[in-house]
Structure 1
């Protein structure tokens, strides 16, 4: 059992974690026709926008209530009202995601009452869904904010907002399953997960679906709101889903809400990288398909041939790369769900997790292949990671990796000094192969460039 240690420093040096509002806004960006609205000062929104734009290199629609010193003291109800009305007038969104910041949380604005009052004063907002989530940025992290936003998204009754644009009939030719991706699931990851689900003859309903909004595609025209993602019409179809696949321990809360509301059974997959983890995911999909068959004529669960071949390719990849992973000391600084997935995959490959630092508490941290994990910052990682063969963290770890004379594999948020984060896929059989080749090549190059390497000496 892993011991979780909180460093309890008086300040953060070289911060690792991103804020809850950033995580919530990221989740909201996976809904089509969405405008995330930050209730706080302009700087709160600007910070999140800069981080997301640099990471995805895409236009990010965010709005703010623009609180000032005066409105912070006297109350921001009018700012919220004016911001919502302005968004509706200028952007005509299908849905608005309202999230708080440290400024307004400290003041203690009663957001539920404010929203109720605004709706009473403006009947024209009657059919507009507004998802409210409390996200103080003085506690928690990006993962917490993302999870809280998803919980509020699935908890809202969308049938109470029958907008004319969403009343068109929807055809459901195949059984539908919910997919709740954690904050570590990239747009490229989501695309792969949906493709896997569809290969089993199931219709995936991803909440949220970043693969349609932040995957790096060109729209026909300028978009002031999200141009893709899960639609409100799809959210109305939640009651007809036959099962929920939660990817990441942080999605357990949202899966429980769906079970309580609609009786939808669920399973949490803490990770979707690694041979055993992907096997379990595919086996569950095959069970979902089989359970819908006539029980008088039982059918043996069948895995599509595509994935049987990919599995053999991954087995070969493991054989090719394990020489370079074996015994290597690797230091990690990631959000809890991503830390869990990465640590266990490295452990499966024979590497040693030399140091682990994360951002927030999570029950998943108690089951890591290392004795101690610290909740801290990148300074803590630097103190713990001396002697590591590889550092895995976000782009802010570049300087410490140089000081430790170790290569850096960039992962998490933000990654602003490399391209393709929207399409990057590290889940499933194919994603696992991508990770093993990426990291294996780094370790291979380091070994080749080491002066004491016999092959290098003989060559010289």
Structure 2
């Protein structure tokens, strides 16, 4: 069990984390015909929107209540009501997500009261669902806000089931996914589930909204894919709920309480052991044999583990990531005989106690550089913010997590399942091979240095007198 070392300084130097409100906005982007409106100043939304666009390389539906000096002091409820009315009139969204920011939380804004006022003042907007969520920047991280948004969507949109605890033969399975899963990861999960004859209903589903695709329309102010708002009303019909990531446990608990649908929980789906457990669960749930192609992919992963252990075995890696992703990489590396010499998380979480490291530091990239420089590190794993640290340390960097603004294709990268785990091992090894990290230094004899010194005394046109001479 890892020791958790909490922050012991008053400021962040080279921050690692993305804000809680940004994580909530990302969750709302996985809902069809939705839009997020951050309750805060314009800069709070603009700054987050830059990172979302840079990471996904897609237009992002994001709005703001545009708090200014007057509303910050005198009250900002009117901004919320007016903003919701404007969005409903102009775009007719199916859902408006309303994350708070550090400014509105510090000001003491009551978003739930503002939403109640909006409902009373504008009953004509009853078709649009509104989901407020408290996500101040100074609490948690991207992963925290993502989980809170999913929790509030379930809280507001999932009705209490009339009958609970029954065994369903329905082919539908609910899947709660965490913030570390890319659109390609979610596609991989859906493919595996469908291979057992099941129908996945993913919440939230970024694989159809931010997977990188061209639309028939040149511009759409709302999300163009994702989970339908109406699907929340049929979650109780599922045979089971699959929960990926410990950050989704509060949402999973609430969904189980509302619907009575049994759930199966997994910290992650990276590495042979984790994927084996997932596949075994699907086999037991359906009674269907494991498809041949999945058996083939498992054999391919085993072969990749055999090929890569010569480079990864006894390796020393430093990882900076949100708790769920940190846990996933820790287990993957430990399975290959790698030591995690530095484990840095931007916020605390229960899963951090189970990370395969001696200790986990809650901090920033300054701590990453400190621990990595003193640990004989071979490689770094982290988001694009880690690039400067990797350059200063002279180490290769495997970009993972959010944001990745200096590379293209992050949403299309699959990390999970047999195929994704296999490719991750290949990428790790190739970085080590390319930079020759951990290679044995060539031996140079001390006598060769003596010969070089003797050779310097010979003239430029004279032969080296010591070459070929025997010494007694």
Provide the TM-score with structure 1 as the length reference: 0.92
Report 1:43-442 matches (<5 A).
43-157=43-157, 175-221=171-217, 222-290=219-287, 301-386=288-373, 387-442=376-431
> Separation in 2 of the partners of 1:449 and 1:217?
41
Contact 1:24-1:99 within 8 A present in 2 as well: yes
**1:376-430 deviation per Cα after TM superposition (whole angstroms, max 9, x unaligned):** 0000100000121001111111111111111111111111111111111000000
Shift of 1:176: 0.7
> Separation in 2 of the partners of 1:90 and 1:159?
29
Query: Any unmatched runs of 5+ in structure 1?
Result: 161-171, 291-300, 455-460
> Separation in 2 of the partners of 1:68 and 1:435?
46
Contact 2:30-2:206 within 8 A present in 1 as well: yes
**1:151-187 deviation per Cα after TM superposition (whole angstroms, max 9, x unaligned):** 1111223679xxxxxxxxxxx9961111111110111
> Separation in 1 of the partners of 2:83 and 2:22?
19
Shift of 1:92: 1.5
Shift of 1:233: 2.0
> Separation in 2 of the partners of 1:50 and 1:89?
26
Q: Alignment partner of 1:245: what SS?
A: strand
> Separation in 1 of the partners of 2:369 and 2:111?
41
Change (3 A) 1:173 1:90: farther
Change (3 A) 1:113 1:449: closer
Shift of 1:453: 5.2
Provide the TM-score with structure 2 as the length reference: 0.89
Query: Any unmatched runs of 5+ in structure 2?
Result: 161-167, 444-472
Question: Which protein shows a greater Rg?
Answer: 2
Contact 2:169-2:239 within 8 A present in 1 as well: no
Contact 1:186-1:210 within 8 A present in 2 as well: yes
Contact 1:99-1:134 within 8 A present in 2 as well: yes
Which residue does 2:432 correspond to in 1? 443
Change (3 A) 1:253 1:22: same
Contact 1:179-1:247 within 8 A present in 2 as well: yes
Shift of 1:127: 2.2
Two-structure CA RMSD over aligned residues (Å)? 1.7
Which residue does 1:458 correspond to in 2? none
Change (3 A) 1:45 1:448: closer
